[in-house]
Amino acid sequence: MNTNKIGLGCVTFGREIDRDASFALLDEAADRGISMFDTAAAYGDGASETILGEWLCARGMSEICVATKILPPFEAKSIAENVEQSRERLGVATIDLLYLHSWESSAASPDCLAALDELVQKEVVKKLGISNVDRVAFSKVLSCQDENGFARFSALQNNFNYAVRDLDKDDFRFYQSESVDVITYSPLGAGFLTGKHKRGVESGSRFEVIPGHQDVYFHEQAWKRLAHLGEVASRFGCDQAHLALAWVLHQPEIDCVLVGGRTVAHLDQAFTALEWENAGAFSELDQFL
């Protein structure tokens, strides 16, 4: 079993679960061989980075990849300041993987790319990535980096699950040709693919905590895919959340799927799905795209 296929998304830390519950998830992830730990300055207004940093210090962890993200605007001064604040919260000398959290035109400016390159040259950051960006924008930035001899973006992080996909087959081919690692998040659609929101937003759920998620998922195509997922799961005698997770985890073009949650049981669910493979079920899901 390739445990590197699963990464731990730390978005719930300090926002939906407290420090002790976060430590329990982190300990379980490390014990099960997970090596990618993904956070962001925006998660809990820095609380997620702080909790992860406290855990890294308490456990003396070193053989893992710590990824974080900074928000726009992407200007040289703000990049340096934001990265320094993230390093302080994480308690690390070097950030293993730094993402630009969302696309903004300033990300394509030579000044931004030069500032990021400087961070890599100074070993403040090991690798660079972008999150929530399309292939056209990513391609233009790579070209600018190559033309100027800057450190390249080598990772992409986008939303991808059975209901909503910010990547298609052409995207996957492009990123593979450019040696860009593809990391995806929200394999259960923030809970949408469990089916628990069919009668309205469940109290205390991610869709209530962050209402913006409703616009991403509450539309006709996603509801149709959810219904088909339920039908296939019923035919194959499995839980639809299990099937949704298994489908994403067995996508060969994806290098790592970030799995978050509030309890250790959510990690157990992901590992069970990773071990389960059913070509017939996956084929039926793929017929309804």
Examine the pLDDT at 56 and tell me if it is beyond 80.
yes
pLDDT tens readout for residues 253-266: 999 999 998 999 99
Query: CA-CA distance, 196 to 208, in Å (whole number)?
Result: 13
Q: Residue 61 has what pLDDT?
A: 83
Q: Residue 201 has what pLDDT?
A: 62
pLDDT tens readout for residues 61-113: 878 999 999 999 999 999 999 999 999 999 999 999 999 999 999 999 999 99
Examine the pLDDT at 28 and tell me if it is beyond 70.
yes
Query: CA-CA distance, 169 to 269, in Å (whole number)?
Result: 27
Q: Residue 213 has what pLDDT?
A: 66
Q: Residue 62 has what pLDDT?
A: 78
* Residue 208 pLDDT class (50, 70, 90 cuts): low
**Measuring CA to CA, which residue among 28, 106, 31, 18 is closest to residue 266?**
28
Say what percent of the chain tops pLDDT 70: 93
Examine the pLDDT at 196 and tell me if it is beyond 80.
no
User: In the predicted model, what is the mean pLDDT of residues 38-50?
Assistant: 98
Up-side HSE of residue 219: CA atoms within 13 Å toward CB? 9
CATH architecture of 3-189+251-277: Alpha-Beta Barrel (3.20)
DSSP code for 73: P
Inter-axis angle of helices 279-286 and 240-249, to 10 degrees? Answer: 90
pLDDT tens readout for residues 172-195: 999 999 999 999 999 999 889 998
Query: CA-CA distance, 23 to 17, in Å (whole number)?
Result: 10
* Domain residue ranges in the chain: 3-189+251-277
Say if CB 57 and CB 27 are below 8 A apart.
no
CB-based contacts of 87, cutoff 8 Å, min separation 6: 93, 95, 124
Strands 65-70 and 256-259: unpaired
Token pair for 172: 């996957």
Query: Which of these ranges, 41-55, 212-226, 241-255, 262-276, has the smallest mean pLDDT?
Result: 212-226
Up-side HSE of residue 40: CA atoms within 13 Å toward CB? 19
Say if CB 162 and CB 193 are below 8 A apart.
yes
Judged on CB neighbours under 10 Å (0-12, 13-18, 19+), 252 is exposed
Token pair for 242: 């299990």
Q: What pTM does this model have?
A: 0.93
Examine the pLDDT at 150 and tell me if it is beyond 60.
yes
Q: Residue 202 has what pLDDT?
A: 61
Cα angle for residues 105, 9, 172 (degrees, 5° grid): 55
